[in-house]
């Protein structure tokens, strides 16, 4: 079964030009999350627009409990690499994560900007996998994401360094307790993953699991039903 859709997720809600992002009201960006009609991978009326499923499956950007996701990259020698990061934000462009600009993941992304994400949602018997291309994000998005980090994660943005890691445990604890984060460090950065493929897996106890896969082709999302 295949369905087509005119371009829906490619444009941002406020236009494709990154500098316009700051003009978008924050509440509009935070509207992404679980709302709207019930949509199901197992039903016969699964949506042509994958963003309907994304909004149904993923929490609002204001939810302090952020989903974890595996970010897979390719090293310079072609070897695969992966690690767990937080989904900071979802909007009409795609998926955002934030990290240290000196990290190995960003070194790999600079050489190979295509990445994959895996977002497990075991409490709902669901999993989302994403293929896409990474893009830089603008300063307003970086500031918004840092402000919405927990106190622990704001400290981590400053103190998760090789220098701290090399210290004895007692000194690491002391430095952590005495640090008060305010503005983000200069090394705070993020990336947008703009999806080219989205695969929604859903399990059931009373029948086999099922996948709906959306692939971006010529500005259109084309969907296929696949076995789980």
Instruction: Work out the average pLDDT over 41-47.
Output: 79
Question: Kindly report the CA angle at 85 between 33 and 225, in degrees rounded to 5?
Answer: 55
- Domain 2-150+187-227 CATH (choose: 1.10.1370.30, 2.30.110.10, 3.40.50.150, 3.40.50.2300): 2.30.110.10
- Beta carbons of 200 and 137 less than 8 angstroms apart: no
| DSSP per residue, the chain | -EEEE-S-SSS-TT-S-GGGGGGS-HHHHTT-SS-SS---SSSS---SSHHHHHHHHS--TT-SSPPEEEEEEE-TTS-EEEEEEE--EE-SS-EEEEEETTSHHHHHHHH--EEEEEEEEGGGTEEEEEEEEEEE--HHHHHHHHHTS-HHHHHHHHH-SHHHHTS-HHHHHHHHHT----SPPTTEEEEEEEEEEEEEEE--SSS--EEEEEEEETTEEEEEEEE-
160 pLDDT band, cuts 50/70/90, is very high
pLDDT value at residue 47? 85
Residue 171 has pLDDT above 60, yes or no: yes
Residue 27 has pLDDT above 70, yes or no: no
Summarised one tens digit per residue, pLDDT across range 52-103 is 999 999 999 999 999 999 999 999 999 999 999 999 999 999 999 999 999 9
Summarised one tens digit per residue, pLDDT across range 14-25 is 333 333 333 343
Residue 33 has pLDDT above 70, yes or no: no
Residue 117 has pLDDT above 50, yes or no: yes
Instruction: Work out the average pLDDT over 3-22.
Output: 36
Extract the tokens encoding 107.
């070194």
Summarised one tens digit per residue, pLDDT across range 195-205 is 999 999 999 99
What does pLDDT average to over the chain? Answer: 85
pTM: 0.82
């Amino acid at each position: 079964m295949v369905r087509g859709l005119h371009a829906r997720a490619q444009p941002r809600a406020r236009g494709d030009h990154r500098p316009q992002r700051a003009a978008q009201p924050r509440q509009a960006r935070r509207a992404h999350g679980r709302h709207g009609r019930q949509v199901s991978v197992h039903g016969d009326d699964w949506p042509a627009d994958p963003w309907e499923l994304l909004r149904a499956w993923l929490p609002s950007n204001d939810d302090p409990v952020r989903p974890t996701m595996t970010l897979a990259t390719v090293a310079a020698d072609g070897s695969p690499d992966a690690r767990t990061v937080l989904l900071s934000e979802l909007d009409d462009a795609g998926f955002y994560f934030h990290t240290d600009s000196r990290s190995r993941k960003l070194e790999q992304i600079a050489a190979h900007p295509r990445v994959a994400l895996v977002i497990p949602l075991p409490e709902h018997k669901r999993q989302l996998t994403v293929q896409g291309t990474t893009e830089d994000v603008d300063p307003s998005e970086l500031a918004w994401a840092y402000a919405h980090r927990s106190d622990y994660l704001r400290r981590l943005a400053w103190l998760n360094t090789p220098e701290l890691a090399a210290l004895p445990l007692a000194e690491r604890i002391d430095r952590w307790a005495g640090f008060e984060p305010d503005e983000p460090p200069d090394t705070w950065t993020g990336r947008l993953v703009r999806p080219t493929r989205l695969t929604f897996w859903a399990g059931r106890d009373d029948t086999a699991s099922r996948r709906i896969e959306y692939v971006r082709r010529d500005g259109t999302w084309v969907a296929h039903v696949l076995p789980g």
